[in-house]
Amino acid sequence: MKFSVKQGSLTDQPCDALVVNLFEGVKSPGGGTGAVDKALGGAITRVIAEEEFQGALGSTTVIRACDAIPAKKIVLVGLGKAEDFGVIEIMRASGAAGRTCRNLRARSVASILHGAGIGGMAAFDCAKALILGTMLGTYQHIRLKTEDVKDNSIESFEIVELSPAKLDEIERGIRRAEVIGDAITFARDLANEPSNIVTPSYLSNIAEEIAAGFDMRCVMRDRAGIEEEGMNLLAAVARGSGVEPRFIEIRYESPDAKKTVAIIGKGITFDSGGYSIKTAEGMQDMKGDMAGAAAVLAAMRAVGKLKPGVNVLALIPAAENSIGGRATHPGDVFKSYSGKTVEIVDTDAEGRLTLADAIAYASKAGVDEIVDVATLTGACVIALGKKISGILGTEQGLVDRLIEAGASCGEKLWQLPLDSDYKDQIRSDIADLKNVSGGKGAGPITAALFMEAFTGGVAWAHIDLSASDTDEDTPLAKKGNTGAGTGTLVEYLLGF
């Protein structure tokens, strides 16, 4: 889709579909929607009454313009309750309207700017949310389909604004949304691909392309390089697979930087659980266990385009967790990159092992902050479901900024306590640490405490991506991977 803004009246726009809006409970529309209603001789008011259209968030109805205005069809979308209105509501309404326009096979779409001025919302934020919601709500992963394929029909999408004073702000919002939306859909595409395509080598090739495209430095380590570097926890996870692991490193440097932030993504391209094997049902979605890596790679594409004023060290420990003749056994002990020894009690708790070596590497590299994103624990899904991701960290300010960054692009984060009282649960009888607590509960917390032991005192936050995938279509995502974490990383890095 090509996105743009145009100064003018909604009633003068030639297009296949014109999007207007209505708050819940409103019977007689005002503003831009009211102007269109008047031009249509009260058609919108009649539809509201006749079809009992309530304006519930994301609900839509279609009205034929009948040559009264240049638009062929009107798509009326509900914004929900005015008192609940914000960024996420704009995104959800825009996603719903976009899908309706796509289903109408509309090639050209014009839209009212949802929410500008309501509750103090700036035109920039409204435009960003509108475009981002449209991009995410109309996303499809159909690359591998050969039958019954209907691609997105929308070619042009134009925000129509009457006030010339808002045009620059809206334009900036559109351009920001395009980059973030492209990053999130890129992450979705990566995580939705099967594991016979997306291997650690595939991720490393993507990383090299990103680095080359934006003049960043990129270093790859293969199995021998990983072992030579002393990343024995990552090596232990990769031992059972015939697929080669990779440790991926990308560096972005800004001339204006005063800080260096490490972003780390878990890159398990398929997780069988190893000898602590998963059930067949538990294994079927494990191609997406590299969603954290996808988020980091996608964020680096956005960093290359937007060039924030901070240095970024992106790290991805990538491997398959499989069973084989050399696979790690429960009870084996390995020395980590940091020098701490770890008893691997459960080979299915592999993500924290790979991240531990990456976190220690970032700490040794002298970064100021570390943020990791990972599909780490099923316990976090049980606690928060698949709409909210968990976050834990050692510095409250860092956690707060990440939560705020997520909220600005519709990604919900909920803080869990990093309580040191649970540290006893990960102490080993024969090594410094063990990788699981042994069924004593607090799974997201003990996993985070395990990784905290490798931070070397650097400010650190961990995002447990319980919202990385969805089992059903949602207002902003099709069934499959959601790209969660990507927007949060991009918005956070742009804050410097």
**335 an active-site residue?**
no
Strands 480-481 and 311-321: unpaired
Classify strands 17-22 and 73-78 as parallel, antiparallel or unpaired. parallel
Please tell me which residue in 128, 166, 352, 434 is annotated as part of the active site: 352
- Give the CA angle between residues 274, 277, 282 to the nearest 5°: 120
Tracing tokens 């943020």 back to the chain, one arrives at: 371
Tell me which of 81, 278, 305, 412 is the catalytic residue: 278
Pick from 340, 377, 350: nearest CA to 452? 340
- Phi, psi at residue 225, to the nearest 5°? -65, -35
Tokens 């692991």 — which residue? 245
Owner of token pair 């050209």: 108
Mark whether 278 is an active-site residue.
yes
Q: Are β-strands 108-111 and 17-22 bridged in parallel, bridged antiparallel, or unpaired?
A: parallel
Tell me the HSE value of 239 on the side-chain side, using a 13 A CA sphere. 20
The answer to whether residues 391 and 413 touch, using CB atoms and an 8 Å cutoff, is yes
**Is residue 201 exposed (0-12), middle (13-18) or buried (19+ Cβ within 10 Å)?**
middle
Instruction: Determine the residue type at 324.
Output: G
Report, as residue numbers or ranges, the catalytic residues: 278, 352
